[in-house]
């Protein structure tokens, strides 16, 4: 179950989010506050965009823990970006710790992260793989449920070469969960699956907070939106109320700074979409659409129906 952060705003050193806040992601790699198990030491990854060099993000990942990785420290202090994802991993039981299983996963311009677990994933894995076109099937390099979910998302999103909107990405996120839940239901499983996903193409970001069991609490998720995010020499980090042109969005599994006013809790079953102009839209997911799996009425839209049968 993992911890992650997404940043979108003016260019800042990665370290300003990874190391400097009082509850930085690096701190969460061994002392996460909002998980029963505070440890996220099974590798990490960071992906960032530098549009002036490439439309695809740069991904740096390692199977060693984030807290002691010198390369991560160096890179975080020397690389600035206006859009980056970072993730510290707590491997699900039986899952291998390897670079191939580290988030964020990348495909073309897209980055993908997951905090959660698809219950009894192995029971839907074949069905999922069978639904994928060759290029997405062969993209999969690891063994995680998360990377397989990414392939489903990309398939549902359609042509990954075109520029899509934040709403389309959010929509595809919800549909991905609906699809995974349908397969899970068909397998006769009932345990809760946790689906906190985040995805970006370097321009827009979408994220979701969801658990399949309405009586369970989904994994925590917050966001913060304000002026430029700044860390002082003394390590105090905050969003300043300054120039509107320096708008900033941070989405994170936990609040990074102590000032609670800076952070909004994403409500359960909500999807968050950040468009290219950094406007944020938070919406209740159409849970009925997902939930309908329970009584067997498949809500699959025509264009996606082929996935189930091909």
Give me the residues that bind a copy of itself (CB under 8 A), please. Answer: 13, 30, 39, 41-42, 50, 53-54, 56-65, 67-68, 70-71, 74-75, 77-80, 91, 96-100, 122, 125-126, 129-130, 137-138, 141, 143
The Cα 248–Cα 252 span in angstroms is: 13
Please report how close the Cβ of residue 9 comes to a copy of itself at its closest, in angstroms. 17
CB-wise, 71 or 190, nearer to a copy of itself?
A: 71
What is the DSSP-derived secondary structure letter of residue 121?
G
Please report how close the Cβ of residue 127 comes to a copy of itself at its closest, in angstroms. 12
The Cα 277–Cα 42 span in angstroms is: 35
Of the candidates 196, 193, 195, which has an alpha carbon nearest to the alpha carbon of residue 222?
A: 196
Q: Which run of H or of E encompasses 17?
A: helix 15-18
The Cα 5–Cα 133 span in angstroms is: 30
In the residue annotation, 6 being an active-site residue is answered as no
CB-wise, 11 or 34, nearer to a copy of itself?
A: 11
Residues 9/249, Cβ–Cβ less than 8 Å: yes
Please report how close the Cβ of residue 307 comes to a copy of itself at its closest, in angstroms. 15
CB-wise, 1 or 166, nearer to a copy of itself?
A: 1
Residues 202/83, Cβ–Cβ less than 8 Å: yes
The Cα 220–Cα 243 span in angstroms is: 30
Q: What's the residue count for the chain? A: 310
The Cα 25–Cα 40 span in angstroms is: 10
CB-wise, 64 or 292, nearer to a copy of itself?
A: 64
The catalytic residue among 2, 83, 102, 204 is: 2
Residues 114/146, Cβ–Cβ less than 8 Å: yes
Q: Which residues contact 173 (CB under 8 A, 6 or more apart)?
A: 153, 197, 199, 206, 207, 208, 271
Whose tokens are 């984030």? That residue is 66
Please report how close the Cβ of residue 49 comes to a copy of itself at its closest, in angstroms. 9
The Cα 310–Cα 289 span in angstroms is: 22
CB-wise, 77 or 286, nearer to a copy of itself?
A: 77
Describe the strand order of the beta sheet including 58-62 as a list of residue ranges.
Answer: 58-62, 44-48, 80-88, 3-13, 248-252, 222-226, 264-265
Please report how close the Cβ of residue 51 comes to a copy of itself at its closest, in angstroms. 11
CB-wise, 83 or 221, nearer to a copy of itself?
A: 83
Please report how close the Cβ of residue 39 comes to a copy of itself at its closest, in angstroms. 5
What is the DSSP-derived secondary structure letter of residue 207?
E
CB-wise, 143 or 160, nearer to a copy of itself?
A: 143
Please report how close the Cβ of residue 272 comes to a copy of itself at its closest, in angstroms. 27
Give the residue numbers annotated as catalytic, written as ranges: 2
């Amino acid at each position: 179950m993992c911890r992650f952060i997404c940043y979108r705003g003016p260019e800042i050193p990665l370290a300003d989010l990874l190391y400097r806040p009082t509850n930085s992601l690096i701190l969460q790699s061994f002392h996460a506050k909002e998980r029963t198990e505070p440890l996220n030491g099974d590798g990490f990854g960071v992906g960032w965009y530098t549009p002036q060099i490439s439309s695809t993000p740069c991904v740096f990942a390692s199977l060693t823990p984030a807290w002691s990785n010198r390369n991560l420290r160096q890179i975080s202090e020397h690389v600035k970006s206006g859009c980056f994802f970072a993730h510290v991993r707590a491997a699900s039981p039986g899952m291998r710790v390897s670079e191939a299983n580290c988030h964020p996963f990348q495909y073309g311009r897209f980055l993908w992260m997951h905090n959660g677990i698809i219950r009894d994933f192995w029971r839907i894995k074949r069905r999922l793989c069978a639904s994928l076109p060759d290029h997405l099937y062969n993209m999969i390099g690891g063994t995680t449920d998360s990377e397989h979910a990414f392939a489903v998302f990309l398939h549902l999103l359609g042509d990954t070469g075109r520029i899509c909107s934040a709403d389309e990405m959010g929509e595809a996120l919800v549909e991905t969960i609906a699809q995974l839940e349908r397969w899970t239901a068909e397998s006769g499983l009932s345990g809760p699956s946790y689906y906190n996903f985040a995805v970006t193409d370097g321009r827009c970001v979408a994220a979701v907070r969801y658990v399949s069991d309405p009586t369970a609490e989904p994994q925590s998720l917050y966001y913060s939106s304000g002026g430029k995010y700044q860390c002082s020499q003394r390590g105090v980090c905050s969003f300043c109320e300054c120039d509107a042109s320096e708008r900033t969005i941070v989405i994170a599994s936990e609040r990074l700074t102590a000032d609670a006013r800076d952070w909004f809790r994403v409500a359960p079953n909500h999807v968050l979409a950040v468009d290219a102009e950094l406007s944020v839209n938070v919406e209740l997911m159409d849970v009925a659409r997902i939930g309908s799996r329970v009584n067997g009425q498949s809500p699959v839209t025509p264009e996606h129906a082929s996935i189930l049968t091909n």
